Copies of this chain bind each other. A is one copy, B any other.
Amino acid sequence: MSSNRPVFFISDSTGITAETLGHSLLSHFDRTQFTETILSFIDTEQKARNAIDRVAKAARESGLQPIIIETIIDPKIRAIVHDSDAHTVDIISTFLGPLEQLLGQASNIRIGRPEVSANYGHYQRRMDAMQFALENDDGRRLHHYDKADIILVGVSRSGKTPTSIFLALQANVYAANYPLTDDDFEEARMPKALEPYRNKLYGLSIDPKRLNQIRDGRKADSDYASLRQCEDEVRMAEALFRRFGIPFIDTTRLSIEEISTRIIVDKGLRDRIRTVN
Contact = CB atoms under 8 A, between A and B. Distances in A.
B41 A262 contact: yes
A14 B162 contact: no
A244 interface: no
A119 B23 CA distance: 12
A225 interface: no
A25 interface: yes
A91 interface: yes
A154 to B, nearest CB: 15
Interface in A1-48: 5, 13-17, 20-21, 23-25, 27-31, 33, 35-38, 40-41
Place the interface of chain A in its size category.
35 or more
A158 interface: no
Main secondary structure of the interface of A (DSSP, over half): helix
B24 A261 contact: no
A162 B127 contact: yes
Contacts of A30: 105, 108
A130 interface: yes
A188 interface: no
Interface stretch (A92-100, A139-147, A230-238): A92-100
B14 A258 contact: yes
B31 A118 contact: yes
B108 A98 contact: no
